[in-house]
Amino acid sequence: MTLHSVNPATGLVLRSYQETDAAAVEGCLVEAAEAQPVFAARDQGSRNAILNRAAELLESRAGEYARLMTLEMGKPIGAAEAEVAKCARVCRWYARHAERLLGDEAVATEASESFVRFEPLGVILAVMPWNFPFWQVFRFAAPAIAAGNAGLLKHASNVSGCAVAIEEVLRDAGAPRGIFQSLLIPSSRVEPLIRDPRVRAVTLTGSDPAGRAVAAAAGDSLKKTVLELGGSDPFIVCSDADLARAIATAVTARTINNGQSCIAAKRFLVERSIADEFEAGFRDAMAALRMGDPLDRDVQIGPLATEAIRDELAAQVDATIAGGGRRLLGGVIPSGPGWFYPPTVVADPPPDTPLRVEESFGPAAAILRFESDEEAVALANETEFGLAASVWSRNPERARRFVSELATGSVFVNAMVASDPRLPFGGIKNSGYGRELSGYGLREFLNVKTVWVES
Residues marked as catalytic: 228, 262
Q: What are phi and psi of 284, to 5 degrees?
A: -65, -40
Q: How many CB atoms are located within 10 Å of the residue 210 CB?
A: 18
Strand bridging mode 224-228 / 432-433: antiparallel
Question: What is the C-alpha separation between 31 and 38, in angstroms, rounded?
Answer: 11
Contacts of 442 (CB under 8 A, 6+ apart): 94, 98, 101, 102, 143, 146, 147
Q: Is the dihedral of CA 219, 225, 229, 233 positive or negative?
A: positive
List phi, psi (to 5°) of 408.
-145, 165
Amino acid in position 214? V
Find the length of the chain.
Answer: 455
Measured distance CA(425)–CA(388) in Å, rounded: 9
Distance CA 423, CA 139 (A): 12
Kindly report the CA angle at 422 between 420 and 425, in degrees rounded to 5?
55
The sign of the CA dihedral 328, 332, 333, 334 is: negative
